[in-house]
């Protein structure tokens, strides 16, 4: 891995736009709806006028702003509405955690996932840990992978099933599993199940379906160790993303590089590839700036 930081972003969004940022907020369009959400890193001034910022369907207030935390919706909107990126359809909706059911900055990863799986010219078993509502899983599914999608939230998994049906991919093989990530990986190791491609987006803090406490600073080394044990002899790629405020792309890259050292003789194989680390970003419409929203590291096999 080199120390050069890569910028990951997509120029191909149609249904989503980052309209403006500033004063610790971001103004975004999700389909036909416009929202204001917190963005603590935006310590600069807004570019668009207050009039433009007020033309919204609502705003998410964080507890830091002194108001009641949560959504303040100015206009009545449907519970969920359809979004699309490159032919994959999925549902958006304001959630209690400020998100709207997907992360637009991850679109470049969706492109990478589909391209790599299509170009592999072999069957690929794909595992999406902390899979959320499953957009990445749908791109892997359409590319021809056998997909396992895991999350600890039953409500989120139901959303993933809805997204699979909305994209008319319900006839393709996607296992949807409610489980704690590490416990699942430990069981998969015992079963001898292996995966060629793995995506991880672990939360900073969370709880498993049985109340298991997750803290990324404590659990990431164990997670990566468990992931290593379920990799196939010839893995295609591994993606690690973090929204933790105190994480960095370089630290993720170093951790992923360490995990992808040559496999032990008992596991077989030699993981020959390279790691790129950087920031997941979106293009800001108001002044054409690249806005960073998450840290990521990607290991991919050498062709």
Question: What is the domain partition of the chain in residue ranges?
Answer: 11-79, 99-301
Nearest to 284 by CA among 41, 77, 32, 3: 41
Q: Residue 288: its pLDDT value, please? A: 94
Average pLDDT score over residue span 293-301: 95
Q: Residue 301: its pLDDT value, please? A: 94
Topology (CATH) of 99-301: Rossmann fold (3.40.50)
Topology (CATH) of 11-79: Immunoglobulin-like (2.60.40)
User: CA Rg, the chain, in Å?
Assistant: 19
Tokens of 274: 């390279």
Whether pLDDT at 195 is above 90: yes
Average pLDDT score over residue span 80-98: 96
Whether the CB-CB separation of 211 and 190 falls below 8 Å is answered with no
Looking at residue 263, the DSSP 8-state letter turns out to be P
Its pTM stands at 0.92
Confidence of residue 217 (pLDDT cuts 50, 70, 90): low
Confidence of residue 97 (pLDDT cuts 50, 70, 90): confident
């Amino acid at each position: 891995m080199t120390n050069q930081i890569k910028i990951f972003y997509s120029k191909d969004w149609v249904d989503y736009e980052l309209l403006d940022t500033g004063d610790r907020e971001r103004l975004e369009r999700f389909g036909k709806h416009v929202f204001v959400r917190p963005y603590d890193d935006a310590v600069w001034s807004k570019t668009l006028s207050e009039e433009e910022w007020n033309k919204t369907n609502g705003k998410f207030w964080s507890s830091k702003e002194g108001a009641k935390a949560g959504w303040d919706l100015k206009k009545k909107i449907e519970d969920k509405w359809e979004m699309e990126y490159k032919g994959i359809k999925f549902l958006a909706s304001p959630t209690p955690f400020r998100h709207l059911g997907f992360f637009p900055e991850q679109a470049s990863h969706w492109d990478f996932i589909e391209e790599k799986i299509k170009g592999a010219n072999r069957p690929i078993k794909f595992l999406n840990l902390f899979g959320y509502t499953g957009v990445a899983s749908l791109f892997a599914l359409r590319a021809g992978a056998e997909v396992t999608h895991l999350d600890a939230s039953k409500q989120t998994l139901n959303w993933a099933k809805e997204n699979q049906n909305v994209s008319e991919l319900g006839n393709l093989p996607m296992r949807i599993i409610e489980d704690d990530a590490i416990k699942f990986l430990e069981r998969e190791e015992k079963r001898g199940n292996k995966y060629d491609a793995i995506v991880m987006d672990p939360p900073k803090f969370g709880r498993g379906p049985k109340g298991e406490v997750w803290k990324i600073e404590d659990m990431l080394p164990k997670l990566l160790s468990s992931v290593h044990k379920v990799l196939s002899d010839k893995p295609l790629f591994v993606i690690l993303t973090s929204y933790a405020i105190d994480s960095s792309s370089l630290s993720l890259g170093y951790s992923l590089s360490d995990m992808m050292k040559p496999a032990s003789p008992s596991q077989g194989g030699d993981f020959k590839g390279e790691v790129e680390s950087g920031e997941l970003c979106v293009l800001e419409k108001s002044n054409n700036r690249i806005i960073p929203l998450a840290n990521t590291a990607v290991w991919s096999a050498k062709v």
